[in-house]
Structure 1
Amino acid sequence: MRDESERAIQAAIDAELRLLDPEVRASPSLVRELLDPEFTEFGASGRRWDLESVLALMGAETVSSESSVNVSEMSAVVLAPGIVHLTYVTDDQGRRAWRSSLWRRAGTAWRMYFHQATLVPSEAA
């Protein structure tokens, strides 16, 4: 059981990091593969996103392969078979945010079901 949990956690972490990759973010089809059809996000902006609104935004934005997000404090737990919860901090050129994602397995693929980002005030950094 432990090996199964470790594999689930690693698969969710790998998928999360792929979503942060500028080349993946530049491809709506690759992003669609990683997001659940029922995906919801509460963004750092305070806006609520769903799969289609995220894909529309990504299709309209220019993603530079130079812009990379630094990830730290990654933590993960298996909540139930096929459900992994990740938490971590991102730093995108000084804009820090706590992030929380729920990943669920769909067949052999892992897809992000829910994501929330909360900005870290500069005085707390």
Structure 2
Amino acid sequence: MLETLLSLESQLLLPSVRGKQQQLELLLHPDFIEIGASGRMYDRARILTELPGEAADYPVRTIENFRLRKLNEELVQVFYSIVENETQRTSIWKLEGGQWSMIYHQGTRRAS
């Protein structure tokens, strides 16, 4: 499970995936919500509209300290850091019909 969710999180950091709405639709749950490091809240529709246009300029991101905790049989929360912009991140992934999709994501800047 750890390797599967790390792979899925990593995919969402790739410009080649971020630029393809069809792939994003598979990875992001219909009820997806994000709270960005800026504190702004985004819904799935906004992410699906904005991400593809920004994908080409998206910088390299490196995940470190990836770990998870199982919330129940269908929900898993992951935690990790992004090296390049010093953010702590957490996502909740939901398993439905044998397919994982992200239902929640939050990025928080680390205190200096």
After superposing on structure 2, the runs of 4+ consecutive aligned residues of structure 1 that deviate more than 6 Å are none
1:57 maps to amino acid? E
- The Cα offsets for residues 39-68 of structure 1, whole Å up to 9 and x where unpaired, read as 001111111011000011113324247x31
Aligned length: 112
CA distance in 1, matches of 2:55, 2:99: 27
Residue in 1 that maps onto 2:13: 20
Q: 1:92-116 CA deviation, whole Å, 9 max, x = no partner?
A: 3xx2110000000111110000011
Structure 2: segments with no counterpart, 5+ residues: none
Would you say the 8 A contact 1:70–1:90 is kept in 2? Answer: yes
- The structure 1 residue matched to 2:22, chosen from 7, 24, 29, is 29
Q: 1:89 to 1:27 in 2, by over 3 A?
A: same
Quick check: 1:100 aligned with 2:90? yes
Mapped partners of 1:81, 1:59: distance in 2? 32
Q: Specify which of 61, 70, 82 is matched with residue 90 of structure 1.
A: 82
Residue in 1 aligned with 2:46? 53
Does the Cα contact within 8 Å between 1:9 and 1:77 map onto a contact in 2? no
| Pairing 1:81–2:57 present | no
Distance 2:109 2:43 in 1: 20
1:114 aligns to 2:104 (yes or no): yes
Unmatched tracts of structure 1, length 5 or more: 1-7
* Distance in structure 2 (CA, Å) of the matches to 1:23 and 1:59: 9
2-structure distance, mates of 1:64, 1:41: 20
Q: CA deviation at 1:33?
A: 0.6
Aligned CA-pair RMSD: 1.5
Identity of aligned residues (%): 28
After TM superposition, the score normalised by the length of structure 1 is 0.82
Q: How far is 1:84 from its partner?
A: 0.8
Tell me which of 60, 70, 76 is aligned to 2:62. 70
Is 1:38 the counterpart of 2:31? The answer is yes
Q: Which residue of 2 aligns with 1:3?
A: none
